[in-house]
Amino acid sequence: MQRRTFLRGSGAAVALPFLEALAPAWRAADGRARAADAAMPPRRMLLIMSNMGVIPTNFFPTTPGRDYEPTPYLKILEKHRERLTVFSGLSHPDVGGAHATEKSFLNAAPHPGRSTFRNTISMDQFAVEQTATVTRFPSLALIVGYNTGGMPSTTRDGVQIPPEGDPAALYKKLFVQGTPDEVERRIDELGRGASVLDFVLDDARRLQRSLPAVDRERFEQYCTSVRELEARLGEAQAWERKPKPSVDLNLPRILPDDSEIQAQTDLIYDITRLALETDSTRIVSIFLAPLRVKPKLPGITGETHGLTHHGGDPTKLALLQTVEETIFGSFARLLDGMAAAPEAGGTLLDHTSVLFGSNLSNANSHDTTNLPIILAGGGFRHGQHLAFDRKNNAPLANLFVSMLQDYGLEVDRFASSTGTLTGLERA
């Protein structure tokens, strides 16, 4: 079967996850069939940046190595302890400037707070440049929350990649194919509880009958994920179409559900997972930007930004912890989904390097050293706290080089790197 097989019907098309039956086969020059390593899925990268830092004592372990005691935020991720590495003592040299460092997180461009600042290419776009275009979308740049203008995904000329933050528009872009009128009609029907899978039902039944047992189970799991995602999108769209009260105040246009930071993040994460599963793209960057949002969470009545400047106030710290636990909870849920998606030789998480971190360490002091960083999945030996000097930090770009090599690129330098990251071994 062709790797790019789609389910088609009534103006809709649905891409498929990685199935054994879709593994490519080719013939050698002597005409004999050959399929060694044909079933191995591609390598991928998922890069997630939050712009609000963390409460340091809730994130960083006090001891290095494999026997570290998990802190409150790491306890949320404890299920995936052996699938991730926690880092301390990493940062970008000469990258200061408080919130302006959002722009330099993925490229290490120095002095982003200065008027003479000139941005450079981010690691996701560097990877795009170095690889052939084999997916529908070379990369995706996504955002959750208020766009501060600090999107970390940038071209070689330092131009920020415009992010997509509308889950319905992203879903349409990725998974619904047809004429503009057909696309809009399918989206309307999704809002009324229909599924794109309903339109490709006959095609799906024919495909399922031809699949081996291992693929039938995988196919059912994928269809269930699509239907669950569509149900939540339909609910979100129903609210979008309801009229809002009129007020004598003109506000900047902010997506109405930004305050539902957990629901918004989970939707973007779910669509991202499906995009990677279907090989629609292999590189995704996500900007989590809750700083200028007033989240609908217990006890929180103002923007998150005010809570990050807590000054040690116990009340503000408790509320900030609620916000940050929500962010780590969504990340844990993402890892759950990726680890539960089987692929040849492992899972989706095994074949995807997932970077999670922030451009700030302690946002209360706008600290841009000792950044909170986690690497999950990919082809690495995990299960440890890899600790570097918290005053004399190792270059974060060294981790980027290790990730780029795991992605399959023959590079030994990127941005301010001095090589690969010491202590991070390939499996």
Residue 341 lies in a domain: yes
Q: How much is the pLDDT for 10?
A: 58
Q: Does any domain span residue 386?
A: yes
85, 374 contact by CB (below 8 A): yes
In the chain, the number of structural domains is 1
Q: Is 261 inside any structural domain?
A: yes
The Cα diameter of the chain in Å comes to 77
Closest by CA to 154, choosing from 135, 174, 126, 177, is 126
Check the CA dihedral 156-160-165-170 and report its sign: negative
pLDDT of amino acid 47: 98
Predicted pLDDT of residue 57: 97
Structure tokens at 92: 């970008």
**Can you tell me the distance from the alpha carbon of 364 to that of 131, in angstroms, rounded to the nearest whole number?**
40
Both tokens of residue 297? Answer: 């969470």
Domain extent, residue 359, equals 11-18+40-167+255-407
d(C-alpha 195, C-alpha 186), whole Å: 8
352-358 and 84-88 strand pairing: unpaired
Q: What pLDDT score was predicted for residue 168?
A: 77
CA atoms within 13 A on the CB side of 136: 16
CA distance 198 to 85: 41
93 C-beta neighbours (distance < 10 Å), count:
16
Chain segment 128-170, per-residue pLDDT in tens: 989 877 788 889 999 998 888 889 999 988 889 989 988 878 8
Q: Which residues does 241 contact at the CB level (< 8 Å), separation at least 6?
A: 191
pLDDT tens across the length of the chain (427 residues) = 554 466 776 566 676 776 777 654 433 333 333 344 445 789 999 999 999 999 999 999 999 999 999 999 999 999 999 999 999 999 999 999 999 999 999 999 999 999 999 999 999 999 998 987 778 888 999 999 888 888 999 998 888 998 998 887 887 777 766 666 766 666 666 666 667 777 676 777 778 888 888 788 778 877 877 777 777 666 555 544 444 333 233 322 334 467 889 988 988 998 899 889 888 899 999 999 988 888 999 999 889 999 999 999 999 999 999 999 999 999 999 999 999 998 888 999 999 999 999 999 999 999 999 999 999 999 999 999 999 999 999 999 999 999 999 999 999 999 999 999 999 999 8
| Residue 233: inside a domain | no
- Give the SS3 label for residue 312: coil
And the tokens for 275? Answer: 């995009």
Query: Are 41 and 55 a contacting pair, CB within 8 Å?
Result: no
Within a domain: 156:
yes
Q: What φ, ψ does residue 102 adopt, rounded to 5°?
A: -50, -40
The DSSP call for residue 164 is B
Residues 405, 411, 412: CA angle, nearest 5 degrees: 100
Residues in CB range of 158: below 8 A, 6 or more apart: 109, 118, 119, 120, 121
Residue 335's domain is classified under what CATH number? 3.40.720
| 246 lies in some domain | no
What phi-psi label fits residue 312: left (phi over 0), alpha (psi between -120 and 50 degrees) or beta?
left
Q: pTM (2 decimals)?
A: 0.80
Residues linked to residue 287 through DSSP beta bridges, in sequence order: 49, 143
**Which residues have C-beta within 8 Å of that of residue 42, sequence separation ≥ 6?**
134, 279, 282, 351
Radius of gyration from C-alpha coordinates of the chain: 22
The pLDDT of residue 250 is 36
Q: Could you give the count of Cα atoms lying within 13 Å of 420 in the half-sphere of its Cβ?
A: 15
Task: Report how far residue 18's alpha carbon sits from residue 41's, in angstroms, rounded to the nearest whole number.
Answer: 7
- Does residue 31 lie within any of the structural domains? no
- 245 within domain boundaries: no
